[in-house]
Amino acid sequence: MFRFIKKGVNGVFREEHDSVGSLRIPGEAYYGVNAKRAYDNFQITDSRLEPIFIESLAQVKKAGALANLKLGELKPMIGETIIQVADELLEGKLTGDMIVDPIQGGAGTSSNMNINEIIANRGIELLGGEKGQYHLLSPNDHVNKGQSTNDVFPTAGKLTFLKLIDQLLIVLEELADSFKEKSLAFATIQKMGRTQLSDAVPITVGAEFKAYYTVTKRNIKRLTACKEEIRYVNMGGTAIGTGLSAHSQFSQTIIGYLREVTGLDIAVAEDLIDSTQNVEAFGVVSDVLKTIALSSSKIANDIRLLSSGPRTGIGELIIPARQNGSSIMPGKINPVIPEVVTQGAFLVAGNNVTISMAIEGGQLELNAFEPVIFHKLIESFHVLTNTLASFNEHCIKGIQVNASRCQELLEKSTYLTTSLAEYIGYEQAALIAKESLQLNRTVKEVALSKGISNDILVKISK
C-alpha cells in the first residue's frame, strides 16, 4: 500500500474535527480532516488524481470564486484569496497535498473537499492566520460556495476530457498524415491482396495505406463529435440539480468565467437534474476511444503480419528495428511497436467495460461511481494517445516496402485465375489454379500449356 502522506514536522500536528470526530493532521499539511479520512479509507490504486484533473478542479474553484464575487456572495478579500490560491494550484504548486486516491466512495466528495481544504488553509496563511482556522476562510462556506461535489466533480471531469480529446486529436492527425504520405510513396508498388489470410487479388501497397488513412480520419470525426457530448456542464445544480443553496444566477455567471479560465467551449446543461443523474456521455466518449483503439490495433496487426519474417514470413514490409528481440536468439528483431499498440487496445477495451458498468450502476439522482469512470477514462486517453504517438514516430514514419518480395509473391500466386475465369469459365480456371499449385508452376505457364491464348494472358495481367 502507498504511504506518501506527509508526517508532522518535528512531531507537530494540529487537530481538526468533522461530524465523525476529531483527527490529528500534520502541522505543515494544507489538506484537512476530510482528505485525511479519505486517505485512510481509500488506499486503492497506489496513485493520486492526475495533474490534468487537479488543474480542472482548480479552474472550477477559481471560476466559482469569480462568480460569487460578481454576485456579492463572497467578501472581496475572501474571494480574491481563493482566486490567488487557485492560481497557485494552476501553476503546479500545492498539488502534493492532493492525497486522495482516484478510486473513492462518496461520488468524488473526498477529492472536492481535498482541494477545498488546500485552498482554505493556504488562503488562511495568506490572510495571516494558521492552518485549520476555518473561521477565517472555510472550505465549505467560502471555497465551496454555491457548489456541491455533484456539480463540481462531473464538471471537472468534462473539462479534463475536453482537454484530453484535443491532445489525442493532434496525435491522430499526425498519424493520418503519415499514412497519407506512405500511401503516396507506395502508390505504384503492386502486391498480393489477401482475404482470410489467403491469396485474393492484387492491390497496391499505397491503396492499403490509403485505407489506414481513411479509417483514421473517420476516427478523428468520431472523436471531434464527442466534444458536443461533454461540453454541457451542471454547475449551479448543486446536490441533485435543483440549485439548492446556490445564487439563482450562479449557473449563468460561473459558465462565463469557466470559459474564460479554461479557454474551452462549454455551456450550462439545459436540464441540470438530468445532467446530474445521467452520465452516459462519458460512455459515448469511452466507446469512441475503444473504436479508435480497435481499428488502430487492426492496422498494427496488419503491419505485424506483412513484416513477418524477415526470411520465412510474408516480409513485404520492413519496419524500423527498435530493440533486440531475444535474450537467447542473436539478431532477432520483434515488432515491438505494433505489439504495444495492440496491448494498449486491450487495456482501452477493458476500461470500456468498467466504464459501461459504472454508468449503468448509477441510481436515482446521482451516479456514485464517477470516480472509477474518470480514473479509467483518463487512463484510456493517456494510453491511446501515447501508444499511437509511438506507433507513428517509431514505426509508420520509418516503414519501407520490400518491392522485390511483393513482386515475387504476386507472381507465385494464382490471382490471374480470377480474371481468367471471365474468358474460360470458373471451373476451368479453378483447375488451372489447382495444377499451378500442385506443379509449383505459374498460372501463365499452366494456362499456355492448356492452349490459352497469350493475348488473353497479357490482357488480364495488366
Higher pLDDT, 188 or 447: 188
In the chain, CATH 1.10.40 sits at 414-461
In this predicted model, what pLDDT tens digit does every residue of 391-402 receive, in sequence order?
Answer: 999 999 999 999
The domain defined by 151-404 folds into Fumarase C; Chain A, domain 2 (1.20.200)
Query: What is the reported pLDDT for 1?
Result: 30
Q: Are 82 and 143 in contact (CB under 8 A)?
A: yes
The answer to whether residue 4 scores a pLDDT higher than 60 is no
Higher pLDDT, 412 or 213: 213
Query: What is the reported pLDDT for 50?
Result: 96
In this predicted model, what pLDDT tens digit does every residue of 310-319 receive, in sequence order?
Answer: 889 999 999 9
The answer to whether residue 451 scores a pLDDT higher than 60 is yes
The answer to whether residue 420 scores a pLDDT higher than 70 is yes
Average pLDDT, the chain: 93
The answer to whether residue 161 scores a pLDDT higher than 50 is yes
Query: What is the reported pLDDT for 7?
Result: 52
Query: What is the reported pLDDT for 67?
Result: 98
* Mean of pLDDT values over 23-50: 94
In the chain, CATH 1.10.275.10 sits at 9-145
Separation CA 124–CA 130 (nearest Å) = 6
**Three cell numbers at 201?**
487479388
Separation CA 102–CA 157 (nearest Å) = 12
CB-CB neighbours of 126 under 10 Å: 16
Give the amino acid at 322.
Answer: R
Query: What is the reported pLDDT for 78?
Result: 98
Catalytic residues: 326
The answer to whether residue 249 scores a pLDDT higher than 60 is yes
pLDDT class of 9 with cuts at 50, 70, 90: low
Separation CA 459–CA 40 (nearest Å) = 78
In this predicted model, what pLDDT tens digit does every residue of 335-388 receive, in sequence order?
Answer: 999 999 999 999 999 999 999 999 999 999 999 999 999 999 999 999 999 999
How open is the CA angle 409-413-414, to the nearest 5 degrees? 170
DSSP per position, 406-447:
HHHHHHHS-THHHHHHHHH-HHHHHHHHHHHHHHT--HHHHH
* Mean of pLDDT values over 195-201: 90
pLDDT class of 322 with cuts at 50, 70, 90: confident
Strand boundaries in 112-260, DSSP class E: 190-195, 198-204, 232-233
Q: What is the dihedral of CA 50, 51, 54, 58, to 10 degrees?
A: -170
Higher pLDDT, 10 or 410: 410
pLDDT class of 10 with cuts at 50, 70, 90: low
pTM of structure:
0.92
In the chain, CATH 1.20.200.10 sits at 151-404
Query: What is the reported pLDDT for 417?
Result: 81
**Three cell numbers at 284?**
459515448
| CATH of the structural domain 414-461, one choice from 2.40.50, 1.10.40, 1.10.10, 1.10.3470 | 1.10.40
Please report how the helices 370-394 and 149-185 are oriented relative to each other, as an axis angle in degrees rounded to 10.
Answer: 20
Question: 308 to each of 34, 303, 320, 407, how far by Cα in Å?
Answer: 56, 8, 13, 16
* Mean of pLDDT values over 404-423: 83
Domain 9-145 has CATH 1.10.275.10: yes
The answer to whether residue 3 scores a pLDDT higher than 50 is no
In this predicted model, what pLDDT tens digit does every residue of 136-157 receive, in sequence order?
Answer: 999 999 999 999 999 999 999 9
